[in-house]
Amino acid sequence: MEQIQSRLALFPVSFFSSVMGMAGFSIAIAKAESIYNLDPRVSLALSIITMLLFASIFVVYSLKLLKEKGAVIKELHHPVKISFFPTVSISLLLMSICMLHNNAEMAKILWLTGTSLHLVFTLYVMNAWINHDYFDIKHMNPAWFIPIVGNILVPIAGVPLGYSDVSWFFFSIGIIFWPVLLTIIYYRVIFHPALPGKLIPTFFILIAPPAVGFLSYLQLNGELDNFARVLYFSALFFTMLVLSQFRKFSKLQFFLSWWAYSFPMAAISIATMTMYQKTENVLYSGIGIVLLVILTLFISMLIIKTLKAIFDKQICVPE
């Protein structure tokens, strides 16, 4: 019993990043279904699995909050782990997108809950950044984008649900702070020691802000203009940049942070398929299919490695 209690205290909030990955995969498959007239039951099944995964992780983390409150507070004050708390609200926002065309009422509830919670997390994290006495440049890593990406994500379901001004509010927060954090991250990477191995996969998060920004901006603006193209091609370049380092990533030991591969890859896959819809250029269709195949392989690998790590008791262990 004592061992179970100690493992519960070590259950990481970063587990919610797996929900982000699965939700992103569900949305990418749904986009492919709509473009290529495929069976929509696949994305619906994936959406249900994603919601069950979220419920399971939420129950376990709630138990941690009840029985190991000190461990949760410790995570909330950790210079790296604090950035993973918004994965809870982002998961809700992504699930609202999954449900948008299947159950609009459920999508609205998920969106309202996720949006409200994300504002709380954004204010908390940014206050922690401003009023700190323990952060150092070595703590900076691409995971710091997570609170920002959530803001940019809001309009994707927010606009169809009728919350245009709220969507512009959150989009504005994300799109202003994205280049600020990008500058700090490049300064940290170039002029300071390399990131530790378990945080190297977070480089994939660099793809997410412009890719999600592209999708949200299209919802808000309604057309493919020059700014939308800048966002998309920025995301495509970051994708090329991180994929060019495949050999480096493939040598890393597995950590839960590997799930950082999944959501950004889903975002650029969806963005590319959307570019194909907007331009009818078959080049984007080809790139989108290739990215979707890579995403499917990533998700399959992550599921296998995560399950293996759980069975081998390599998760929820002291760092």
DSSP 246-262: HHHHHTSPP-GGGGGGH
CB 134 within 8 A of CB 170: no
Residue 6 token pair? 């100690």
Integer CA distances (angstroms), 168 to 159, 176, 216, 233, in order: 9, 12, 9, 22
- Looking at residue 4, its pLDDT comes to 53
- The CA distance from 61 to 316, in Å, is 12
- Looking at residue 77, its pLDDT comes to 86
Q: Assign a CATH topology to domain 2-311.
A: Glycosyltransferase (1.50.10)
Predicted confidence (pLDDT) per residue in 129-153, tens digit: 888 777 778 778 888 888 888 999 9
DSSP 211-244: HHHHHHHHHHH-S--HHHHHHHHHHHHHHHHHHT
Helix and strand totals (H; E) in the chain? 13, 0
- The CA distance from 297 to 306, in Å, is 14
E strands, the chain, are none
- Looking at residue 5, its pLDDT comes to 55
- The CA distance from 235 to 317, in Å, is 35
260 vs 206, which has greater pLDDT?
Answer: 206
**What is the DSSP-derived secondary structure letter of residue 163?**
-
- Each domain of the chain, given as residue ranges in start order, spans 2-311
Work out the pLDDT band at 20, boundaries 50, 70, 90: very high
- The CA distance from 96 to 101, in Å, is 10
- The CA distance from 263 to 198, in Å, is 17
Predicted confidence (pLDDT) per residue in 184-242, tens digit: 888 988 888 877 777 788 888 899 999 999 999 999 998 999 999 999 999 999 999 98
Q: Tokens 């999508």, residue?
A: 107
- Looking at residue 2, its pLDDT comes to 45
Angle between the 226-243 and 208-221 helix axes, to the nearest 10 degrees?
160
pTM (predicted TM-score): 0.92
Residue 314 token pair? 């390599």
Predicted confidence (pLDDT) per residue in 76-97, tens digit: 888 888 889 999 999 999 999 9
Asked whether the predicted pLDDT for residue 159 surpasses 70, the reply is yes
- The CA distance from 175 to 168, in Å, is 10
- The CA distance from 180 to 236, in Å, is 20
Burial of 209 (0-12, 13-18, 19+ CB in 10 A): buried
Q: Tokens 């509010």, residue?
A: 169
Q: Tokens 């323990």, residue?
A: 134
Asked whether the predicted pLDDT for residue 3 surpasses 60, the reply is no
- The CA distance from 75 to 59, in Å, is 17
CB 185 within 8 A of CB 142: yes
| Average pLDDT of the chain, as a whole number | 90
